[in-house]
Amino acid sequence: MIRVAIDGPAGVGKSSTSKALAKYYGFAYLDTGAMYRACAWWCLKQGIDLDAAEIDERVVTETVGEFFTGDHFDISVDPDNPSVTADGEDISEAIRSSEVSTHVSKVSGIIPVRNVLIAAQRAYIAREASADSFSGGLGVVAEGRDITTVVAPDAEVRVLLTAREEVRQARRTGQSVKGVGAEDVAARDRIDSKTTNFTTAADGVTTIDNSDLTFEQTFDALVELVDAAIEEQEYERYAANLEGYDLDEGDEALIGRDGPSGASDGQSGPKQVGVLAIVGRPNVGKSSLVNRILGKRVAVVEDTPGVTRDRVSYDAEWAGTDFKLVDTGGWEVDVEGIDSAIASQAEVAVNLADAVVLVVDGQVGLTDTDERIVRMLRASGKPVTLAVNKIDDRESEYLTAEFWKLGLGEPHSISAMHGRGVGDLLDEALDSLRKAKKTSGYLTPYGLRRVALVGRPNVGKSSLLNQLAHEERTVVNDLAGTTRDPVDEIIDIDGEDWLFIDTAGIKRRQHKLQGAEYYSSLRTQAAIERSELALVLFDASVPISDQDLKVMSSAVDAGRAIVLVFNKWDAMDEFDKQRLERLWMTEFDRVTWAQRVNLSAKTGWHTNRLAKAMREALESWDKRIPTGKLNAFLGQLQSAHPHPLRGGKQPRILFATQASTRPPRFVIFATGFLEHGYRRYIERSLREEFGFEGTPIQISVNIREKKKRK
């Protein structure tokens, strides 16, 4: 049985919210305020002068006592019909009259009268524990004064509803009807405060100030408290099944209480910062410099021109200054194909930046391409800091002199590989960034849902990213493996920001990969681990390969929420579509719980369906099933379909709990081993009952035996 006690001053909405709460759960509803009003009405009917200067408290107490013990009074606990009767007469409307409202505080202020009422109220509450009561033993919601501290101080849920005085007065005025004046809540407070405290909550009582809340918001807050109390009772009931079994310390920690829900951290908003772009011709060491600035190896580096192909941005910090650092592909002139696209991305990065670091190769010396880059930079009007890389020692310093010809001021000799001179370069670059007086970038906000675009090479990951962003964020080319570094992009979809991570295609035989492809593969796996949701892309226009399925499995094995995206669907004929449907029943049997979205990243066809699938998958990934509800469901499941007998014994589920979310992980305590087929049956049943569409489910079984008698 759940007892809910709701206290608070006049005008906070105790009655309306309490009745709604009782109806929601099938509980009884006890209006203790109506009991006090009935007492005042009865005293007036008996001719007692409640306006007298000195009220005879003994006479009032005896009259009220007779009212309750003489079978004159009755109150309905049906929230749909909370009527009050006296000698069989319905006085529900009469006790709301202005005359009764004026005198009720005088009656309730008499301590002996309160004692009589408290005893009666406790009796009504206790009656609901019976199976033949109105609620059938489920519970009761009692509202009124002293409920949380005197009448039901041990109630499972105790709440003090409160609101500002002007708000409560406005509500009372709005509730007044013809012939009944609005109650003066301030005057009522002054009288009631002589005998009860309703302004501050006692220990263990939850305060809900609903001054600025709607009725629905107040109700939802109460539902959350009652759900928690129900869960606690159910948990204790099912956990009792483990009594008498050997449990270790890990078990005690696991079943002690539900773990954290795994909600992501929030942030008020993204921080606006300056953007510093690193540009230069291919293979001068731009990505090495980026790694040195960030203090970790995030950009793929190889002694081969053209490893970096997209403009990739990172959150960075130097000497207390936060900024956005952009790595770019090598800028070249008079190039075609993918090299042209890479150069275009570098120019875009310069245009979007607030300041630029131009990196040149000190060992190679000044080139025509360096000079043409300088002309492009001058045209952009952005402040430029010149870095002469690969000056590994003092003896090589003379190599920087040649670069004074570029007219960009002092060349800074650095060694990105060894870190030599990088600090001085950054001091100069950030000084120019501050002088630019522009802050075009934002640090990546905490709390964004993180989505990794994964798939084998050339399935359209970058095309989909560009389509969702409605601009060319990454290089797209028919050449497989265009993307090398994971590319983070914040994209607004239906008014909500998402952090997308475009990854390199995962190749089948990773142990045979070399150089940039090897490091790209490692970073792709790290990007999956960093994400919450994986959009697994397939090229629907070609047969599904083992490589496709391996990519999908890597995301599932990482425990990420999944949405399967079949790209280039518009290029398929009816025969191909039927072929894919047959494959879905065979090759994709492991992920039949995942949502499918058929689309065209190139044209944008059906890309608007992605957001709904993504939200539903993440909602399932975050979902937690209360322990009581989980055990009740598994109990019904076990009764309907018990585990098969093995060796003359039948394993029995004792208790289950959801140990964690992201992904949902369930731990089952059983008397014996549960076979794989039965675990699959449990998983299918959990999905049918609770959803979990779009997320893997992990089920562990802990076998426990009875304690041996000593």
- Can you tell me the distance from the alpha carbon of 483 to that of 473, in angstroms, rounded to the nearest whole number? 12
Tokens of 7: 């206290």
Identify the burial level of 427 via C-beta atoms within 10 angstroms of its C-beta, where 0-12 means exposed, 13-18 middle and 19 or more buried.
middle
Is 460 flagged in the annotation as binding?
Answer: yes
Is 260 flagged in the annotation as binding?
Answer: no
Is 504 flagged in the annotation as binding?
Answer: yes
For 236, the enclosing helix (H) or strand (E) is helix 215-239
Contacts 24+ apart (CB under 8 A), 679-687: 681/641, 682/634, 682/637, 685/633, 685/637, 686/625, 686/633, 687/593
Is 16 flagged in the annotation as binding?
Answer: yes
- Can you tell me the distance from the alpha carbon of 132 to that of 186, in angstroms, rounded to the nearest whole number? 42
Is 287 flagged in the annotation as binding?
Answer: yes
Is 427 flagged in the annotation as binding?
Answer: no
Is 457 flagged in the annotation as binding?
Answer: yes
C-alpha dist (Å) from residue 511 to 521, 524, 547: 10, 15, 14
Is 419 flagged in the annotation as binding?
Answer: no
Is 456 flagged in the annotation as binding?
Answer: yes
Residue pair 220/31 in contact by the 8 Å Cβ criterion:
no
Is 505 flagged in the annotation as binding?
Answer: yes
Is 459 flagged in the annotation as binding?
Answer: yes
Place of tokens 């001053």: 9
Residue pair 552/591 in contact by the 8 Å Cβ criterion:
yes
Residue pair 537/464 in contact by the 8 Å Cβ criterion:
yes
Is 455 flagged in the annotation as binding?
Answer: yes
Tokens of 143: 């509202």
Is 269 flagged in the annotation as binding?
Answer: no
Residue pair 63/56 in contact by the 8 Å Cβ criterion:
no
- 3-state SS, residue 642: coil
Residues 6 or more apart in contact with residue 435 via CB below 8 angstroms: 383
Is 47 flagged in the annotation as binding?
Answer: no
Is 273 flagged in the annotation as binding?
Answer: no
Is 391 flagged in the annotation as binding?
Answer: yes
Is 283 flagged in the annotation as binding?
Answer: yes
Residue pair 34/153 in contact by the 8 Å Cβ criterion:
no
- Can you tell me the distance from the alpha carbon of 330 to that of 649, in angstroms, rounded to the nearest whole number? 69
- Strand 595-598 and strand 272-279: the pairing is unpaired
Is 458 flagged in the annotation as binding?
Answer: yes
**Residues shown for the chain:** 710
Cis peptide preceding 663, ω within 30 of 0: yes
Is 284 flagged in the annotation as binding?
Answer: yes
Is 344 flagged in the annotation as binding?
Answer: no
Is 178 flagged in the annotation as binding?
Answer: no
- Can you tell me the distance from the alpha carbon of 128 to that of 133, in angstroms, rounded to the nearest whole number? 5
∠ CA 354-357-360, rounded to 5°: 155
Is 56 flagged in the annotation as binding?
Answer: no
- Can you tell me the distance from the alpha carbon of 126 to that of 1, in angstroms, rounded to the nearest whole number? 10
Is 649 flagged in the annotation as binding?
Answer: no
Residues 6 or more apart in contact with residue 398 via CB below 8 angstroms: none
Is 702 flagged in the annotation as binding?
Answer: no
Is 285 flagged in the annotation as binding?
Answer: yes
Is 106 flagged in the annotation as binding?
Answer: no
Is 280 flagged in the annotation as binding?
Answer: yes
Residue pair 63/46 in contact by the 8 Å Cβ criterion:
yes
- 3-state SS, residue 75: strand
Q: Is the dihedral of CA 271, 275, 276, 277 positive or negative?
A: positive
The CB density around residue 33, as the number of other CB atoms within 10 Å, is 18
With b meaning 16 or more CB within 10 Å and e meaning fewer, what string describes 126-161? Answer: ebbeeeebbbeebbbbbbbbbbbbbbbeebbbbbbb
Is 342 flagged in the annotation as binding?
Answer: no
For 86, the enclosing helix (H) or strand (E) is strand 84-86
Amino acid at 284: V
- Can you tell me the distance from the alpha carbon of 673 to that of 653, in angstroms, rounded to the nearest whole number? 10
Is 621 flagged in the annotation as binding?
Answer: no
Instruction: List binding-site positions for ATP.
Output: 8-16
Instruction: List binding-site positions for GTP.
Output: 280-287, 327-331, 389-392, 455-462, 502-506, 567-570
Instruction: List binding-site positions.
Output: 8-16, 280-287, 327-331, 389-392, 455-462, 502-506, 567-570
